[in-house]
Amino acid sequence: MSLYVKQYLSADKPNLVLLHGWGMSSDVWGAFAETLADHFSLTLIDLPGLGRSTVYPSPYTMKSVIEQLAKHVPEKASWLGWSMGGQIAVEFAATYPQKVEKLITVASNPCFVQRDDWSCAVEESVHQQFEASLDANIVKTLQRFIMLQTQGAELGRETLKFLKAILKELDHAAPIESLGLLRGDARASLSQLTMPVFQLFGEKDNLVPLEAAEACQQLSKGGVKVYSGAGHLPFYSHQTEVIADVVSFLQEPAV
């Protein structure tokens, strides 16, 4: 059993770690990662129990996942996390601030499920239904999940086709265990980060409501950007723009 790590290494380029979201693998980065490799030395990881990573901690907790990731990443790097990968990246940065130079989250809600003081998230009843359906039929639930990510967004059909092709090749070891991380709350961790932070959102995201962008702006001193017409995968539908923003942010001298 092992953790799957793919690297585009270059000694003269700064390190960047990419973390995908729930139900996917690092293949979701596709051409986005290949273009970023022109600028950065990349480390792509399949999260524990997802994609080609057959190893996963038991119990499957945020702390245990972070400890596992820490063994496979550069001593110092910037981090970019999408969706649940963004939550994990925030918690990693809070746990190991000396390892994270800059942080970018994409279509990521620090608190994915609604709470009394956080309405800009998925309703509790909806998430419970999702957990129940995953228990009953993993394949159908994953298909429904990727449809939600692309519905109503620019390049929605093309994005769905791309995700379906990836999903077809996946056989997750711990889809149910890893889903538990989406019940976490990274708001306190996000608010305490001292490194530069940049949070990217899609205007038409069905999983992370637009209101979350404004709420996250209040939590973090970093920048926030919303991509007009983008769904849950702005790095696919608005790839050129997102790459330009990522490169610009990461290449800015840290103050």
Provide the CATH number for the domain around residue 239. 3.40.50.1820
Domain coverage including residue 174:
5-251
The pLDDT of residue 1 is above 90: no
d(CA 180, CA 168): 23
Q: Is residue 135 annotated as part of the catalytic site, yes or no?
A: no
pLDDT band at 221 (very low <50, low <70, confident <90, very high): confident
If you average pLDDT over residues 209-219, what whole number do you get? 95
The number of distinct structural domains making up the chain is: 1
pLDDT averaged over every residue in the chain: 96
* Tens-place pLDDT, residues 115-128: 999 999 999 999 99
Which candidate in 25, 26, 53, 83 is catalytic?
Answer: 83
Q: Is 83 a catalytic residue?
A: yes
Q: Which of 232, 237, 238, 245 is catalytic?
A: 232
- Find where tokens 């849950």 sit: 232
Return the H-helix or E-strand segment holding 201. strand 197-202
The answer, yes or no, to whether residue 94 has pLDDT greater than 70, is yes
End-to-end alpha-carbon separation of the chain, Å? 42
Q: How far is CA 56 from CA 52, 67, 90, 127, 182, in A?
A: 11, 11, 20, 23, 16
